[in-house]
Structures are given as structure tokens and as C-alpha cells.
Amino acid sequence: MKERKIELLAPAGSFECLQAAINAGADAVYFGVEQLNMRARSVNTFALTDIKQIAAVCRANAIKSYITLNTVMYNHDIQLLRRILKEVKKYAIDAVIASDFAVIAHCNRLNIPLHISTQANVCNMEAVRFYSGFADVVVLARELTLKQVAEIIKEIKRKKIKGVSGELMKIELFVHGALCMAISGKCYLSLHAQNASANRGACTQNCRRPYTVTDTETNEVLQVDNEYIMSPKDLCTIDILPELVNSGTDVLKIEGRSKGADYVYTVTKCYREALEAIENNSYTRNKIAEWLKRLSTVYNRGFWNGYYLGHKMGEWASQPGSVATERKIYIGKGSKYYPNIKIGEFTIESGSVKTGDTLIITSAAIGMAKEKMETLTVNGVKSGIAVKGDKITFPVGAKVAVGDKLYKIVERANG
Amino acid sequence: MGKIIHYRKKCIGCGICFELQPELWRMSKKDGKANLLKSIAKKDLFVLSVSNAIQQLTQEVTRACPVKIIKVL
């Protein structure tokens, strides 16, 4: 059992996040291009032409890359699908994550390795056996308990269910990130309310808002004791990770292609450390507390263990957005770097910074770098504070390039 | 006279515009996004001059578009 290497799979919604995932120790990343993925609405979406560079970056860093093509597909999408798969084949992306049979059929025809998306809601052994004729990995529905997961994996081994590659079918589980109130994303709330289908990656997240119930006869507004009755907290399994590992899963997946490089880096790094700690028997209560503290600093709606332990039913969020203990505020852009003295130059475009502030720099080359600003030079003069329009320089370990984004970290007061 | 403006780049190809107003829209076989028929490309925008009557009818499409990339002026 000890030799089994579990793959840590991180989200990459942008080149910054891709680099952040690599720096944090991900074994693989998943990404989407154009509109045929579940984050089509996201501000940062990769284009078809980015596949080449994504493949090159992943290869140079010896990590695997998977492309998500898991929306509902229409006839008019097939040509784009073909063009995407042509690029996938050309640049040898390691696998496609899909649930629609058109994608499955095309991948099989082109001999492209396939992972079955959680959108397929695989909940039992027979479904895994069915998909073994087309795929090598199945991402199980997020609603299963670990007992159910372990049973499926045991049966795969006992019945020697092999995938297309000839190896035993692999199982992938979500370990961290947003959960839906609907079964593995099969939700029509956003479609009915805003005509924006979650299954085309356009979810408007109606479930994340507070609601009241009105008695139409009396117009009386009923108080719902928890207003966020449709918004589950985020999945976090760092405190039960050994149980996930013991279930026999092969891949652990982190959700969050719409999230920033700071989220990708922090979450991936915590789970990487936790997996290593489990491996060398140094997984302790103190470490769990420290990881949880770090995980709380980036985007989250509060944490729970999801459905893995079975007995605990839905835990709901307490506010519409993130309850992260820290927040990042955009400050400005990088303009120069002096490598010999390790000094970075930035132009402030919004807000202000002062010495002692914790800053993060994000870019495709750096990923995410965190720096505490010990000294600050404003427009060539040593100073304590800088405001919009100022050119500032301060010591930075990471190699700053023109256009790198600079953020200030501030503590968030959670009420 | 009015104008329909389509910010095509952000289209997610759901097909609702074509469904509601097939006389003005087609789903591209090439990239799966919507095309505003007979429109003129201006950078990332596609612009079509239309009568007031069509302009009124397009309001529904504007509302229906899930990513709000269709504007009527």
C-alpha cells in the first residue's frame, strides 16, 4: 500500500494558477478552453490556442495536464469539439475529462485517454464497469460516503476491472472546494431563474444567496432560521485525509478553476504537505490546525467534510461570499526588476501600501509569491507609504516582470 | 432605426438567441458560438442596424442571453 502514489490534481484557470499549482507541488492540473467547460462564464478562460503553451509548461515541469470538456453538448458544438480534440492530440494533453457521449466517442476514436467527469454522477460499481470500456479514470459523484467509495474500489480490484489502457480503473475524489446543493452539479436553478445553464458553465449561483419565504395570502414574510439554505459550505478534507487515502483512491482533486493563484497555491500546498505527512507518519493534530488556518485565509464559504463521513447532513454557509480570513486588494502592476539586488519596481494604480504590509505578486511566470514589505522606496525616496500614481521599489525574491499584478493582503473582519 | 450589438467573444454557445429569433441569429458550425447575421464586425463587437420593430423584438433576446452580451441601442 505504501508504494501507491496518490496524484494531487489542482485547478488551473489561468497561466498564473497553472504556475501556482506547479510551485505548490501538484502532480497534475486540469483546465478548460473556450466555452465547452463548466467554467465558461469565468473571467479568465483559456483559448484554443493556449493548449500548446499549457502542454509545454506542464511537460517542462513534469506534471500531467487534463482538459475538461464536460458541458452539455449540442450539435453546433461538435465542430469546435473536433478542433479542440485535434489540438489535444497534437500537443499530447494527458487526458480529456468528459461526461457527454459525443466527447467520449470522439476521444475513443482518436485514442485520447479519457476520464469520466463527476458530471456523469457515477455512484456504483456497475457504472464504473460500463465506463471502463471507454475510460481509465472515473471521478466519482461527490455525494458518496467513503464506505461506498472503498467498496467500489475493492470491487474494481476483485473483479479486475480494467480501463482502455489495460490497467485497473482508477478512482478520483474531490478533496477540497465548492460543493453544490444539487447532485454533482446537475442543477437547473440558475437556468430557471436567469436562463443561465450551469450545465453550460454559466451558473449564476442563485443558491449562494439568502432567501425569504412569503405567504402569498397574508404577504407575511417567514423567517428562515438559516437564510442560506441552498448554499453548502465548502468541502475540506484535510482533517480526514488519511481516511480518503485509505479508501484506495488514486487521484485527489481540488476544485476551483475560477479562483485566484493565491487560492490554488495555498490549497495545493496544504494538501501536498498533508499527503507527505501521511506518507512519513508525521500527520499530527497540530499540523491539521495549522493547515486549516492557512486554508481559511483563501476563498472559502466555511468548511465541512462533505458527504464522505455520511452521518452529517448539509452544513450551510453563513454569508453569500467567502469567509476567508484574508482578502486581497489590487494595488498595481510590475514595471521592472533589478536581479542583482533583488528589487522589484511597481506602479500603484489603486489604493495605497505602507511598510509592513503583506503583498502578493501574481503572474504566469511566478504563479503566486507572498512578500512582507520591510522597506519601501517611493519615486526614488525612502518612504513609509505610497499612494496611487507612485512608482515604488522594494526587495522581492521573485523575478518581477512588466505587467505582474500586485495585491495587498488585508485581514477580513467576519461578523 | 436602432442597433443590435453582439459581444461575440464572450458567447457560450447556448443557442437561446437563435431559438428566439432565428431570422437574426445562427449557431456557427465552426466554433459553436452565435453569429448575428449580416452584422458588421468592429473589433470584438458585431453591429447590426435594425428597424424599431425588430429592435423591440430583440429586447427579449437581450434578457434571455445568459452571459448578457447582446445589447440593443
List the CATH number of the domain containing B14. 3.30.70.20
CB B3 within 8 A of CB B50: yes
B60 to chain A, any CB pair closer than 8 A? The answer is no
How far apart are the C-alpha atoms of A83 and B31, rounded to whole Å? 8
Same domain, A384 and A249: no
What pLDDT does residue A196 have? 85
CB A90 within 8 A of CB A215: no
The confidence band for A314, taking pLDDT boundaries of 50, 70 and 90, is low
Sign of the C-alpha dihedral computed for residues A160, A272, A282 and A295 taken in this order: negative
Q: How many other C-beta atoms can be found within 10 angstroms of the C-beta atom of residue B14?
A: 29
**Tens-digit pLDDT profile for residues A89-128:** 999 999 999 999 999 999 999 999 999 999 999 999 999 9
If one counts the domains in chain B, the total is 1
Residue A335 domain boundaries: 326-411
A102 to chain B, any CB pair closer than 8 A? The answer is no
Q: Is this prediction's ipTM beyond 0.95?
A: no
Average pLDDT of the residues in A141-149: 94
Same domain, A16 and A70: yes
CB A29 within 8 A of CB A20: no
**Tens-digit pLDDT profile for residues A5-19:** 899 999 999 999 999
Same domain, A335 and A289: no
C-alpha cell, A154: 475493492
Residue of chain B with shortest Cα separation from A84: B31
Contact flag B12-A202 (C-beta cutoff 8 Å): yes
Q: Is residue A404 part of a domain?
A: yes
Which chain B positions have a beta carbon within 8 Å of A42's beta carbon? none
Same domain, A82 and A148: yes
Percent of chain A with pLDDT over 90: 73
**Tens-digit pLDDT profile for residues B15-48:** 999 999 999 999 999 999 999 999 999 988 999 9
Indicate which CATH number applies to the domain containing A51: 3.20.20.70
**Tens-digit pLDDT profile for residues A161-212:** 999 999 999 999 999 999 888 887 678 888 888 888 888 888 888 888 888 8
How far apart, in Å, are the Cα atoms of A193 and each of A12, A49, B4, B16, B40? 29, 34, 24, 15, 32
If one counts the domains in chain A, the total is 2
Contact flag A200-B14 (C-beta cutoff 8 Å): yes
Nearest to B12 among A35, A79, A194 (CB): A35
Q: What is the CA radius of gyration of chain B?
A: 11
Residue B19 domain boundaries: 2-72
Which chain B positions have a beta carbon within 8 Å of A81's beta carbon? 32
Same domain, A173 and A274: yes
A15-19, A61-65, A152-156, A314-318: least confidently modelled range: A314-318
